[in-house]
Amino acid sequence: MPRTSSSPRRRSRLLRAAAALAVLVALAGYMAVQYLSGHKGAPRCTVGPVGEGEGRTYELSPDQAANAATISAVGTTRGLPERAVTIALATALQESALRNIDHGDRDSLGLFQQRPSQGWGTPEQIMDPVYSSGKFYEHLAEVPGYSRLPLTVAAQRVQKSGFPQAYAKHEPDAALLSAALTGSAPASLSCSLPSEAAGGPGDASEVRADLVRAFGKDVLPSTGSAGAAAASTVSVPVRADDDATARRGWELAHWAVARAGTLRIDEVSYAGRVWTAGTGWRTEREGSGSGTVRMRLAQ
């Protein structure tokens, strides 16, 4: 009798185990297909490798890339070096994973988890990535010799975190990001965006306003002619005849790529290279003594 009564329970357990195994096998198969197909359709951005050949790369979402581009733009607009941008990006990676979140420990908010109660600003201000980035750099600039300090030390002087060593693990990824976003590593940031992304056509006036907010009013010609020739294109003249100005051009080009999903930018071109969401960067023409960063908007 005991053997007969326990047999249905045993069979039931075996059936449940078999069903669970089938689900796991199906999930593993799906993930393998997605991996082998390059996660087609999944929006993502990749930065690196820097220079020719193979090297480290870092993958992040378009939303994270857009926030990283804003952090970088605010830093360079203040005249701060690439090291400052690396420190800021590593800090934001640890504090919010580069997401502009409206919650955190106690009253912490935003990319850097700044607290209104500690004098960082109002909640509305802190949730503005341009404002919060500026406040971070403002405090970083007050740290004597911050560019020569270990990243964990410099970040902790600003953040006063309970886990200061946590910033260290993000330094390699932050360095890759800052090299691309400050323009020192040309054509090293690319994003793939779903063609069916919602949002309608791009708005040239919105792109120009975003440029000015991130880089300041001097980013566009004083005549206001940048992008005026066509509603579907925003053009920013940038000389590319020396390292400093070429770097500025790549900074703007990578900013446009990083914010392409937000601003509905389909194509970015600079210094003989062209980026499109479907194919990444390609060479259009060799040699360019001067250049213009052109952003073609979705229609």
What are the Cα distances from residue 20, in Å, to 12, 17, 93? 12, 5, 36
pLDDT-derived band at 227, boundaries 50, 70, 90: very low
Residue-level pLDDT at 224: 46
What does the pLDDT average to over 21-37?
43
Q: Measure Cα distances from 112 to 55, 98, 147, 240 in Å.
A: 29, 8, 19, 34
Domain locations in the chain as residue ranges: 61-182, 200-297
Query: Is the pLDDT reported for residue 278 higher than 60?
Result: yes
Pairwise CA distance, residues 90 & 150, whole Å = 12
Average pLDDT over residues 129-134: 98
Band of residue 38 on the pLDDT scale cut at 50, 70, 90: very low
Residue 195: pLDDT band (50, 70, 90) is low
**Structure tokens that stand for 105 in this block:** 């420990």
CB atoms within 10 A of CB 219: 20
- Bridge partners of residue 44, in order along the sequence: 192
Contact indicator for 115, 107 with CB cutoff of 8 Å:
yes
pLDDT at res. 53: 52
**Three-state secondary structure string covering 116-185:** HHHCCCCHHHHCCHHHHHHHHHHHHCCCCCHHHCCHHHHHHHHHCCCCHHHHHHHHHHHHHHHHHHCCCC
Nearest of 147, 146, 109, 156 to residue 129 by alpha carbon: 109
pLDDT of residue 285: 65
**147-170 tens-digit pLDDT:** 999 999 999 999 999 899 999 999
| % of the chain at pLDDT higher than 90 | 67
> Among the listed ranges 55-64, 70-79, 116-125, 277-286, which one has the minimum average pLDDT value?
277-286
Question: pLDDT digits over 45-76, tens only?
Answer: 999 876 555 688 999 999 999 999 999 999 99
- For residue 11, pLDDT beyond 80: no
Distance CA 131, CA 120 (A): 10
The Cα 241–Cα 291 span in angstroms is 9
Helix (H, G, I), strand (E, B) or coil at 261: helix
Indicate whether 134 pLDDT > 80: yes
62-66, 211-215, 224-228 — which is least confidently predicted? 224-228
Which pLDDT belongs to residue 252?
Answer: 97
Mean pLDDT to the nearest integer, 184-213: 86
H-helix segments, the chain: 2-36, 62-77, 82-96, 123-126, 129-140, 151-159, 171-181, 204-215, 243-258, 260-263
- Residues making up the chain, counted from first to last: 299
Burial 240-271 (b: 16+ CB within 10 A, else e): beeeeebbbbbbbbbbbbbbbbbbbbbbbbbb
Model confidence at 5: pLDDT above 70: no
Q: Which residues partner with 282 through β-bridges? A: 274
d(CA 92, CA 99): 8
